Structure 1
Amino acid sequence: MRVRLWLGALLALGACAEMTRRPPPEPPIDLAGGLMVEPLPVIVDRAAADFDRGGAALEGHPAATALAVARLEWLGGEARPGGRLAELPASYLFGLQRGVREGRQALAIAPDAPTDSVVAALLTASRAITRGDTAAARAALTGPDFRDTDRPVLDRLREPGPFPDTYLTLPAIREEVGRIIAAGRTDRRVASEFFDTGVTTMGLSGQGAR
């Protein structure tokens, strides 16, 4: 009897902890193109479109490139513990990590730069370029998060090069996020998505992961 009561108390405590768990911070509205109840699927969908055909459409569009890499960076940050993508199979997370690395190499972003500050800098640069203020854009992308190279950062934004790993990874993540939401595995008590644990999903390798 005592054992059952003890187990019941543990389950109740776990349920209370789940109910009081704070949602992840809301993303900057630029990433989804506006304020969304469920920003994750919108951002994933836009990111997949950004890097379609390896990001070929980004060539010659520096503001769009800065925004696209900001979306990629944000998604990478959501793979951290407690993030919206943290419960995806390891194969998806590995692919996303490779995609983030492509974005950082393309724009000479320091490998250890904090995700949040990189996203903020890229969004500032994107807005500045859109309004024609290249000096502000250059200033936003200067500092410890960005490495000095022989090639100016604005030139990198105009010609970022291909993103093959990102191109392969994001459509798969978009499909998985869609399946998760369609299966009702998000916490509808809050505006931000949470993934339930303990549900088997398919990884990029085709093998189930928990």
Structure 2
Amino acid sequence: MRRVPALPLTALLLAALVLPGCAELRTPRPRVSLPLELVPNAEDPVRSAARLASAAFADQGAALQGHPAETARAAARLEYLAQTLAADPRYAALPPGLTLALRGAVGEVRGALGLAEAALPEQAIAALAQAARALEGRDDAAAVLVPPLFPAGAEATLRRLREPGPLPEAAIATGRTEEAIRALDIGTGWTLSPERSTLR
């Protein structure tokens, strides 16, 4: 009987590291939700989040300077858009480069605010929404802005929320998102294939 040659130990170890990563890439992230106060009176949270995020990040986020609660809300809406538009197949009609632009914007905003790169979108959204509520209600937001989600600690994170600095990637990505959604709404619509119904 012909013997199958054994794989080298290094190859086996490499496979053990790579295969779980491949499985993770094949497994889509679960859908995330957005607290209702971030999209007030909205029939569709995606369209509302896109409109509000685009307005907040316009002119590279100039209107956010000095408004930490609104900065936190804008960042939460951006996190929601980036995850939802990438994970939900109903939005596959949007331009293919849009989700990449939104991911880049998320990285930019997380870097500006000191939000951990490894944080899950649902963790980031919940923490940012809670911080916005605390800041607007003059409660202790410092209790929310703590490691590991905010490695720099509360004091430094509050300073960053007050003065996030210019956010050009977020401005471009959210503006493009709002424009793309509006174009599909007034144009050919959201039908992706004959067997799929429209979103509207």
TM category, shorter: 0.7 to 0.9
2:146–2:154 contact (8 Å) kept in structure 1: no
The gaps in structure 2 that reach 5 residues or longer are 1-30, 195-200
Indicate the residue corresponding to 1:28 in structure 2.
35
> Which of 1 and 2 has greater Rg?
2
Partner of 1:104: 110
The structural deviation recorded for 1:37 is: 2.0
Q: Is the 8 A contact 2:142 2:154 kept in 1?
A: no
How far does residue 182 in structure 1 lie from its aligned partner after superposition?
2.9
* CA drift at 1:81: 2.3
1:1-210 → structure 2 map (5 Å cutoff): 26-34=33-41, 36-82=42-88, 85-133=91-139, 135=140, 137-148=141-152, 152-183=156-187, 185-186=189-190, 196-198=191-193
Q: CA shift at 1:82, angstroms?
A: 2.0
Cα root mean square deviation, aligned: 2.3
Superposed CA deviations along residues 173-199 of structure 1, whole A, max 9, x for unmatched, are: 11111122334745xxxxxxxxx4359
Q: Give secondary structure in 2 for the equivalent of 1:176.
A: helix
Matched residues in 2 for 1:86 and 1:142: separation? Answer: 36
TM-score by length of 1: 0.70
- Following superposition, the deviation at residue 80 of structure 1 comes to 2.9
Q: 5+ residue gaps in structure 1?
A: 1-23, 187-195, 200-210
- What percentage of aligned pairs have identical amino acids? 34
**SS state of the match for residue 147, structure 2?**
coil
Cα distance change of structure 1 residues 92 and 198 upon mapping to structure 2, 3 Å threshold: farther
The one-character-per-residue Cα deviations of 1:74-115 (angstroms, maximum 9, x if unpaired) are: 111113322664542222112111111111001111111010
Q: 1:149 to 1:83 in 2, by over 3 A?
A: farther
Is the 2:92–2:192 Cα contact (8 Å) retained in structure 1? no
More helix, by proportion: 2
Normalization by structure 2: what TM-score? 0.73
Q: How far does residue 26 in structure 1 lie from its aligned partner after superposition?
A: 4.9
Aligned counterparts of 2:61 and 2:154: Cα–Cα separation in 1: 23
| Residues in 1 aligned to 2:83 and 2:101: alpha-carbon distance in whole angstroms | 13
Distance in 2 (alpha carbons) for counterparts of 1:123 and 1:83: 26
* TM-aligned CA distance change 1:153 to 1:45, over 3 Å: same
